[in-house]
Structure 1
């Protein structure tokens, strides 16, 4: 059994508690002074967390969310939410951790802390949970039942980082993939493409046969960003690190990436890829405008914020508008795709107890409640009788969410009332996902997008604190050069004959050293 060493700090605090108790104090000073060593009831908590943009549009704080209000009512704990300014999450996190005073709980991707979560523990910015699991029976039960979840929630040294957001079912881990206008396919008597060659045939037809029926050659057959995984993956590589039999490789320097770039260059030259892809595919407002103006034939979309969103938006003005998901493309018919978008069950966002917290045990007990059956129900469904009712023992959302009386779209109605679709210290209930994703096109897309082997996918490794600065420096230069060159190769301003020179340049920038750092990280992860 792994036994953690008791820190000098803990010993000193323990002695202090004993001394104060011997003096006959009333315990109030002791509770303040001894912090984690006390088991005082928790009454108030400061909680720092990103306010998602669509939530920020309708509220100032998560304190307005029905689920959190219900949690406060059930536990008697008052939560003071602190949110970074919109668009400044990383910058404000860095400023905050540089200070000596942190909120009680910080909900964040702690492995992005400089040097990783292990360095944050060494810096006493966060307190690992290993010594407190006796006060967190609900979380402990989950981690004991799912060793891989515990692995993902831990550092390389085995320290549990914090209370994780967990997606309990594989269907919840898949929410993004290639999508196409089914009404355009039907009009041109075409089938959903599955291979790169079939995609080329379909895109040519979209370009030349006026599927939107306005008599103009204004169709954009496909709108995707440079390096898009859904299509690069067809050539056996992602636009990032991956592993083959536990050996780390970097996709953008592999021969398959040149094949991918050659295909994208051909599609660009023939007008199949949007001429403005460099900006249009990454700017949500431009993308919205192009799709809703009936120009885009295919793209990569989210299930709810994409397929569901656009079908709802177009339902009145164009009743025949229909988007469906497609399988991730392959090179040969019948091949099973290897790469595809899939989140980890433990997403990497943790509600971590900080070194400034004065009541660690009370905070652990409070956060663990959110993993209980009652806590899980509240976080995913809100308040019984208001946002959900039990039908044959199963929670069903009410019209407060599904037909919001204030006219909020379903995505924002969910934000207003529950936390089931975002990050947070709880388990996302599969019954939430089943009701959120309602259209048959969405359900079918989820099945198609889930059908990938993921055998070459990198697990959520952590770069060591010792390698952190060097790795960050290398990858800043590598990504800047790589992204610039990918655009040039696709648009033809750099001939593909120069691909080998590009690879040598990346090696000169240190990509091979970065691969070795990732290799060491993979080996540490496998040994957790």
Structure 2
């Protein structure tokens, strides 16, 4: 019988979940509050059981801004509190910075895996279903009775369950879930509001209006230094916020249930023609193809860039903070995704899925699957959610009228850490992991009015043509990867040539033929089959 079905080991002598967690699970199964702390007898039992600690090895990426201030997530206040509440000791293992994919591939090639591996398992060669067949991870379907908190979430949100499952219906692992649409919107077009005000211009909504504004930025010296050094717009080739206005994103999309590939559609030629015009007239940064993050920072803080595409916190929030003292009039704000016609509703935009694709999966090397399931499920309880998003009560948050509010330990870090790193040192709500991201965390993390306004504007696209998180079939994965490596290399090369004018757009049809010769039509059919399997999950 498969190790994933039928009988499961019930090791009564090994107690890994103390009574606090046990009472939480019992309360949930009996219809009580998942935040219950249990009876006095249960607390006594917890004290007795705490002498028998379980250790779990847990492999997960250490986010770069966390790596700058800590060696392990074991230093994070939230994880310390989880360990204290449950009695489970976590031994975190982190891949070397900048080597996530390589380290993951080396990890899964070994025979002995950590107990839990937190990763985008659909990136496993052949996908998560292949990882299950290879016995690298244990699907959760037969363990949901021991995971009532996660089960309740998936039962109440069928689309979340689809996103957390393989095409065969196997639940991959414990997902990171964003519970509100505002948490899924964090990137979009942005513009210098102070420049618009100085030139008496309105924020653009159509491609034609964008052209008018960018021309004004180029010709009317909005930075006021008497030099024509303004960069009206700084975006990469194929930028979704602008390619999407032409109905053809720089990737696969769907029209109803038919998969298409944007870069070979007629609308993409119109997009490239627009970018070529902007480039020729000096509106698009002449170094758009080679500008890295440091150069981008220098150009924006150097008062040169009029518009770009930014993150809410790592963009709008970051630059508003950086410029607050040196240039108090500096104001960069979100703007609507452009359309071709005034009044049209944008279709394409940046949005993450509520189930992000990162799963804390129990590996085939784990000897205590049942107990690990109970431990990870605790993080989806109201109590676990509160800890992961807010840390330790009285230290990193307090309850005000029953609502968690961050303390100055987080919001005004005594060690002078910027707010993003301050959050990283205390909670996991800003990153990923096996829990639900609390919307009350997001509301306190994203505080500037410019950020809140941007979030509202960037939430407008319908996303009706967006591809869901499909999985390429294992038998197609090698061929698909080979095709798309060649397609992307050629496509990216030709986009630059078309935009800079090194190649005439009269050659667009030849470019499409070349992509078809490289196998893009076969790749579309592989994506089509993946979409149909996803819809049938």
2:2 to 7, 10, 29: 7
Aligned-partner Cα distance in 1 for 2:256–2:463: 12
What SS does the corresponding residue of 1:279 show, helix, strand or coil? coil
Match of 1:237 among 227, 248, 252: 248
Contact 1:42 1:362 in 2 (8 A): no
* Structure-to-structure mapping, 1:62-141, within 5 angstroms: 62-141=73-152
Q: In 1, are the aligned partners of 2:4 and 2:138 still within 8 Å (CA)?
A: no
CA distance in 2, matches of 1:465, 1:305: 36
Residue matched to 1:375: 384
For residues 320 and 143 of structure 2, the distance between their equivalents in structure 1, rounded to whole angstroms, comes to 47
Return the offset for 1:10: 6.7
Q: Does 1:398 align with 2:393?
A: no
- Number of the residue aligned with 2:38: none
Is 2:522 the counterpart of 1:527? no
1:441-493 Cα distance to aligned partner (Å, 9 max, x none): 10010000000110000000000101111101100110111111111111111
Q: Report the equivalent of 2:326.
A: 317
2:313–2:446 CA contact under 8 A, matched in 1: yes
Asked if 1:203 is matched to 2:214, the reply is yes
Q: Pick from 487, 496, 512 the counterpart of residue 505 of structure 2.
A: 496
Deviations 1:207-248 (A, max 9, x none): 111100111111100000110000000001110000001000
User: Does residue 263 of the first structure (1) align with residue 274 of the second (2)?
Assistant: yes
Q: What CA RMSD, in Å, does the superposition of the two structures yield over aligned residues?
A: 1.5
Q: Is the 8 A contact 1:195 1:329 kept in 2?
A: yes
Post-superposition shift, 1:285?
1.1
Task: Output the CA distance in 1 between the equivalents of 2:496 and 2:510.
Answer: 16
1:194 and 2:205 correspond: yes
> What residue number does 2:62 align with?
51
Q: 1:476 aligns with which of 485, 488, 496?
A: 485
Q: Which runs of 5+ in 2 are unaligned?
A: 15-48
In the alignment, is the contact (CA less than 8 A) between 1:42 and 1:359 conserved in 2? no
**Contact 2:346-2:462 within 8 A present in 1 as well:** yes
Specify whether residues 423 and 8 from structure 1 end up closer, same or farther in structure 2 by C-alpha distance, changes over 3 A only: closer
- The 4+ residue runs of structure 1 with deviation greater than 4 A are 8-11
Q: Distance in 1 between matches of 2:458 and 2:129?
A: 34
Q: For 2:294 and 2:70, locate their aligned partners in 1 and report how far apart those are by CA, in whole Å.
A: 22
Alignment of 1:212-223 (within 5 A): 212-223=223-234
- The Cα shift of 1:276 comes to 0.7
Query: Is the CA contact (8 Å cut-off) linking 1:350 and 1:424 kept in structure 2?
Result: yes
Please list every run of 5 or more consecutive structure 1 residues that lacks an aligned counterpart in the other structure: 1-5, 29-39
Task: Name the residue aligned to 1:389.
Answer: 398
Q: 1:431 to 1:8 in 2, by over 3 A?
A: closer
Q: How far 1:421 moved relative to its partner?
A: 1.2
Kindly indicate whether the alpha-carbon contact (under 8 Å) linking 1:42 and 1:363 is maintained by their aligned counterparts in 2: no
- What is the aligned partner in structure 2 of residue 31 from structure 1? none
CA contact (8 A) 1:223 1:298 kept: yes
Residue 278 of structure 1: SS of its match in structure 2? coil
Q: What's the secondary structure of 2:482's corresponding residue?
A: helix
**Pairs within 5 Å for 1:201-350:** 201-280=212-291, 283-350=292-359
C-alpha distance in structure 1 between counterparts of 2:298 and 2:395, whole Å: 36
Whether contact under 8 Å (1:70, 1:383) holds in the other structure is yes
Residues in 1 aligned to 2:340 and 2:189: alpha-carbon distance in whole angstroms: 15
TM-score normalised by length of structure 2: 0.92
The CA deviation at 1:370 is 0.4
Aligned counterparts of 2:238 and 2:346: Cα–Cα separation in 1: 17
Deviations 1:112-163 (A, max 9, x none): 1100000000000000000100110000000000000000000000000000
Which of 160, 179, 186 is matched with 1:168 structurally? Answer: 179
In structure 2, C-alpha distance between the alignment counterparts of 1:476 and 1:423, rounded to whole Å: 29
- For 1:44 and 1:279, how far apart are their aligned partners in 2? 47
Does residue 1:421 correspond to 2:430, yes or no?
yes
Is contact 1:155–1:161 with CA below 8 Å preserved after alignment?
Answer: yes
Separation in 1, partners of 2:198, 2:265: 39
Report the alpha carbon displacement of residue 401 of structure 1 after superposing the two structures with TM. 1.1
Partner-residue secondary structure (3-state), 1:44: strand
Note if contact 1:381-1:420 (Cα within 8 Å) is conserved in structure 2: yes
In 2, distance between residues paired with 1:512 and 1:525? 20
Structure 1 residues 344-398: Cα deviation after superposition (integer angstroms, max 9, x where no partner):
0000000000111111111100000000000000000011111110000000011
| Aligned partner of residue 289 in structure 2, secondary structure | helix
Partner of 2:170: 159
Q: Normalising to structure 1: TM-score of the pair? A: 0.93
8 Å CA contact 1:224–1:300 kept in 2: the answer is yes
CA distance in 1, matches of 2:496, 2:205: 25
Structure-1 separation of matches of 2:185 and 2:314: 13
Change (3 A) 1:392 1:99: same
> Secondary structure of the residue that 2:166 maps to in structure 1?
coil
Q: Secondary structure at the match of 2:189?
A: strand
